[in-house]
Amino acid sequence: MTVSLTEKAAERLSLFLQDTATENNTGTRAIRVSVKDGGCNGYEYAINITSKLGKDDLVVQHSDKITIYVDAKSAPLLQGMVIDFIEGVMESGFKFTNPNATKTCGCGKSFQAGDCTPDGVPCSQ
């Protein structure tokens, strides 16, 4: 399973992880990446900060020591995806470059992927 982060995305996510850490929380803080039904193209990206590994989550250790949990059902739709963070006058936020996406919306948060199903069945392109 490959989901990677650019340097800017890793920096931003590291800040989020630091900001959400508490003295009482000694568990691993991680980023959960998944796909949900929705958006203007059928699927929508989701990133959450968590300390709980889901039963079927796949674990990706990023080189910057950021742990990424990937929902197993979303994994076929996210294989090879690169997450970046952009800052600009008109737009700021996470940008997803997904080789499985056959169509994306203008905001870049929603995508379509060939003949994939909401259950995360691998795409036939």
Alpha carbon distances (Å) from 116 to 39, 53, 66, 123: 15, 25, 29, 5
Average pLDDT value for residue range 27-32 = 84
124, pLDDT greater than 50: no
Q: Is residue 122 part of a domain?
A: no
pTM of the shown model: 0.79
Helix (H, G, I), strand (E, B), or coil: what is residue 36?
A: strand
Q: What's the DSSP call for residue 34?
A: E
Q: Is residue 120 part of a domain?
A: no
For tokens 């379509």, name the residue.
Answer: 112
Q: What is the pLDDT of residues 65-122, one digit of tens each?
A: 789 999 898 999 899 999 999 998 888 899 888 888 877 766 566 677 766 554 544 4
Alpha carbon distances (Å) from 3 to 14, 55, 67, 74, 115: 16, 19, 11, 11, 21
Number of domains making up the chain: 1
Q: Is residue 63 part of a domain?
A: yes
Question: Is 40 or 44 the better-scoring residue by pLDDT?
Answer: 44
Residue 76: CATH number of its domain: 2.60.300.12
118, two tokens = 């909401």
66, two tokens = 């950021």
Full residue range of the structural domain in which residue 42 is found: 3-112
Average pLDDT value for residue range 31-39 = 84
Per-chain mean pLDDT for the chain: 80
Cα 33 to Cα 54: distance, rounded to the nearest angstrom: 11
Confidence bin at 17 (pLDDT 50/70/90): confident
